[in-house]
Structure 1
Amino acid sequence: MRLVRLIANLGYGSRKEVAMMFREGRITDAAGDVLYADDKRGHADIRIDGEPLDAPASLHLMLHKPVGVTCSTKDAGRIVHDLLPARFRLRNPALSTVGRLDRDTSGLLLLTDDGALLHRIISPKSRISKVYEAVLAEDLRGDEVTVFASGELMLEAEKTPLLPATLEVLGARHARLTLHEGRYHQVRRMFAALGNHVVSLHRASVGGLALGDLAAGEWRVLEARDLEAIFASGDSA
């Protein structure tokens, strides 16, 4: 692959813009020697303004999504891509969220440009756990643990009952819920089915990958061990 195409596919600019970067001497090798568009170099040996290139496909990220930010690329307000380097929007293949967290939910969000991995993570067959912490408008009534674990709870407009879920009571209006599926607004709808309302919702982990000390709005690239951790609590497909 020509260097211009390689760098453009990583989102650093159009092919025309990348060609201009070559002419300006901004693209060098690891030793600092200026590269030209027809040179042949490995990905790891290329620098732009002295910085290594972003990872080639596949790129996997974890992001601490704050409240007020949406996962849609078409939303008029703040979107998750606003929290990432601008060039990430231009990568080819595209960087997509693995499932979604709604605007009012914070916590761990995964992004990848690997379609096969994305579908493996969200597939019901993988049974990957997702742990949420919820603050509620009303006190827990006492039977939530049993009802959520029963595998018999039906949500409005659904035709199949929910899979068993584990609820840990943290306080009168504070609970930790572990799911093995991902239906639309599932946590909020589960508590609504029992007459309660979720005031705030936070996703703490996906599989064996926890958010850790990543601050709201921060992100990092996932390493191989992180990808392995995602499937640690599920039956990988």
Structure 2
Amino acid sequence: MFSGMDDEQMSEKMRLQKYLAKCGIASRRHAEQMIRDGRVRVNGHTVTEMGVTVSEHDLVEFDGKPVVPEEKPVYIMLNKPRGYVTTVSDPQGRKTVMDLVDDVPERVYPVGRLDYDTTGLLILTNDGDFAYHSTHPGHEVNKTYLAEVEGIPSENALKKLREGILLDGRPTSPAKVELVEQKKHSAVLRITIHEGRNRQVKRMCEAVGHPVKKLKRIAIGNLTLGDLKPGQWRYLSASDIRKIKGDKNG
């Protein structure tokens, strides 16, 4: 865990969406949408446009409640089991990943998303800048998965996955794909991507005729799950954070 912003940092002006992210409300990208939706007020006035800057001297409210910076950024690694949705709350009443970290005193939220039936490495934090860095495609943070797929993919199918699959009218970025195990009627692939499109790995495999039976994320950057059991979590160290950001010396 790390210390939070100091007084000098917070006295400086910063963009509203960055301020909201620093306060642990949401990632910077999601904070932008919250602003557009009219859920944020500054000094009593609703803000819906980007470009507004604020400091600690401004009154910022989200859904009518004052927003203040978190005292300390927190970073948590969770081994997500099946049967949990990756959201802070669920209108359908399903279990969420927040139920697995309900003993964490700080308010945190998931970075990115794993499907209901997808397992593995998930980060939760209150650091919006870190969340933005980890999920924005421009930063090219690798995510590595083990995917058990139906059938045995041919070399041609693997080649297509590596070169890019057309999804929603545009190709995926090249992926690292390795056949790590062959079973009687299925195979296990290790797939590394840096994009974060909706259900991307599942859709890529389905596009080459090998639907995913099981999917587990095993690494983000150079950070791996290690011996963390399903449903368990731990705090990340400074060295862990460097591994996510691609510092191999971390």
Is this a same-fold pair by TM over 0.5?
yes
In 2 relative to 1, CA 179–150 (structure 1 residues): closer, same or farther, beyond 3 Å?
A: same
Shift of 1:145: 2.5
Partner of 2:229: 215
Contact 2:100 2:231 (C-alpha < 8 Å) held by counterparts: yes
SS across alignment from 2:95? coil
Q: Say whether 1:138 aligns with 2:148.
A: no
Instruction: Give the drift of 1:147.
Output: 0.8
Deviates more, 1:102-111 or 1:158-167: 158-167
Q: Runs (4+) of structure 1 moved beyond 4 Å?
A: none
Equivalent residue for 1:117, pick from 107, 130, 135: 130
Q: Is 1:70 the equivalent of 2:85?
A: yes
- Confirm or deny: 8 A CA contact 1:136 1:197 kept in the other structure: yes
Specify the code of the residue in structure 1 equivalent to 2:99.
D
Task: Determine the structure 1 residue equivalent to 2:54.
Answer: none
Q: 1:233 to 1:174 in 2, by over 3 A?
A: farther
Structure 2: 5+ residue stretches without partners:
1-22, 24-69
In the TM superposition, residue 180 of structure 1 has moved relative to its aligned partner by: 1.4
Task: State the shift of 1:188 in Å.
Answer: 0.4
Summarize the alignment of residues 139-158 of structure 1 with structure 2, pairs less than 5 Å apart.
139-151=152-164, 153-155=165-167, 158=168
The residue type equivalent to 2:134 in the other structure is: I
Q: One-letter code of the match for 1:159? A: G
- Cα deviation, residue 160, structure 1: 1.9
**Helix, strand or coil at the partner of 2:203:** helix
Gaps of 5+ in 1: 1-8, 10-54
| 1:1-237 correspondence runs (5 A) | 56-75=71-90, 76-86=93-103, 88=105, 91=106, 94-151=107-164, 153-155=165-167, 158-172=168-182, 173-232=187-246
CA distance in 1, matches of 2:239, 2:121: 17
Report how far residue 233 of structure 1 moved.
6.8
CA contact (8 A) 2:160 2:208 kept: no
Contact 2:111 2:131 in 1 (8 A): yes
- Secondary structure of 1:125 counterpart: helix
* Kept in 1: contact 2:88–2:109 (CA 8 A): no
Aligned length: 175
Identity %: 35
The aligned amino acid for 1:191 is C
**Secondary structure in 2 aligned to 1:104?**
coil
State how far apart, in whole Å, the 2-side matches of 1:215 and 1:100 are: 19
Aligned-partner Cα distance in 2 for 1:87–1:127: 29
Q: Which amino acid letter does the alignment assign opposite residue 110 of structure 2?
A: T
**More off after superposition, 64-73 vs 142-151:** 142-151
Larger gyration radius, structure 1 or structure 2: 1
Q: Deviations over 1:16-63 (max 9, x none)?
A: xxxxxxxxxxxxxxxxxxxxxxxxxxxxxxxxxxxxxxx942011000
TM-score (normalised: structure 2): 0.66
Distance in 1 (alpha carbons) for counterparts of 2:219 and 2:126: 20
